[in-house]
Amino acid sequence: MTLGGTVPEALMTVVAAATVFSVMFVIGLGIVPREFRWVWQHSGLVAKGLFSVLIAVPALALVVARAFDLARPVEIGILLMAISPGAPVALRRAIGAGGHHSFAPALQILVAVLAVVSMPVWIALLNEVYAGHATIDPAQLARQVFTAQLLPLGLGILIRYRRPTAAAWLESKLARIATGLLLLLAVLAIIDIGQVVVNAGPRIVLAIATVTALALAVGHLLGGPDPATRTAVAISSAIRNPGLALLVATLNAAPPEITATVLAYLIVSAVAVIPYVAWRRRRPDPVERE
């Protein structure tokens, strides 16, 4: 079976799993105590950021998907991306666009940890909304998210704490491997891009672009007065985790229409955030980063 284009489902599953695991491991290796201190000092802002990423965006996606009256598998594909937070590339894009150097990593870590709870809860709710047609067991999903995302993050943090010198060496080496896997996953998606976008149609593209724009707006509004934290929350809200979504879809035998929609979401949302990133890069940051 393919994902809707020419890429074998098994190949995409392996690459997605390896990508998520390796990138989260590298992020864990790079964690320093400063990020955790910053969280405790700005708990209100962190809570608003988590609300935006974990609750507001999936809720908005549900409203948009139903409003556009899309086919059921397409709706589920959009919602699967919306409930899959913590895209590894979001941290890089947030910092590259002027995101806060302490807040952005802390938000990434907390989102990865809380995804073990938030994703099963959303799946349980969606199973009710779709009268059982979402057909993913929440408990099984929690185990999958823990293995793919939280476990490597925790291992990386543990190694950083126990062996900081070895962690620094490993981080530099494994970062290249993780980047290579990200590129491979992108290439596999690009191979499918033509057929996926053609199959998607303008209404699906518009629905995904609408969800992305609303996610940027909500994240920007909830990101506090500091332009750097606003940027971090907005980008973390808008850029979802395709590796995690594809992994969940393929491990749970989702139909090709769902996985094809996940790929369409990846492409459309990546394009939709470009104007925001360009705008934030042009703005001076008056607040000194900690």
Residue 168 lies in a domain: yes
Residue 101 lies in a domain: yes
- Please tell me the total count of domains within the chain: 1
Whole-number pLDDT of residue 96: 60
Whole-number pLDDT of residue 99: 54
Whole-number pLDDT of residue 1: 43
Whole-number pLDDT of residue 55: 97
Q: Which of 106-110, 192-196, 234-238 has the lowest mean pLDDT?
A: 192-196
Specify the CATH number for the domain of residue 84.
1.20.1530.20
pTM, full prediction: 0.83
pLDDT (average), residues 140-154: 84
Domain limits at 136?
9-281
pLDDT (average), residues 255-280: 87
Q: Using one digit for the tens of pLDDT, what is the confidence trace for 26-46?
A: 888 887 766 667 777 788 999
Q: Using one digit for the tens of pLDDT, what is the confidence trace for 110-135?
A: 888 898 899 989 988 888 887 655 56
Whole-number pLDDT of residue 7: 65
Residue 165 lies in a domain: yes
Residue 67 lies in a domain: yes
Specify which of 121-125, 128-132, 233-237, 247-251 reaches the highest per-range mean pLDDT.
Answer: 233-237
Spell out the SS3 assignment of the chain.
CECCCCCEHHHHHHHHHHHHHHHHHHHHHCCCHHHHHHHHHCHHHHHHHHHHHHHHHHHHHHHHHHHCCCCHHHHHHHHHHHCCCCCHHHHHHHHHCCCCCCHHHHHHHHHHHHHHHHHHHHHHHHHHHCCCCCCCCHHHHHHHHHHHHHHHHHHHHHHHHHCHHHHHHHHHHHHHHHHHHHHHHHHHHHHHHHHHHHHHHHHHHHHHHHHHHHHHHHHHHHCCCCHHHHHHHHHHHHCCCHHHHHHHHHHCCCCHHHHHHHHHHHHHHHHHCHHHHHHHHHCCCCCCCC
Residue 287 lies in a domain: no
Specify which of 24-33, 69-78, 212-221 reaches the highest per-range mean pLDDT.
Answer: 212-221
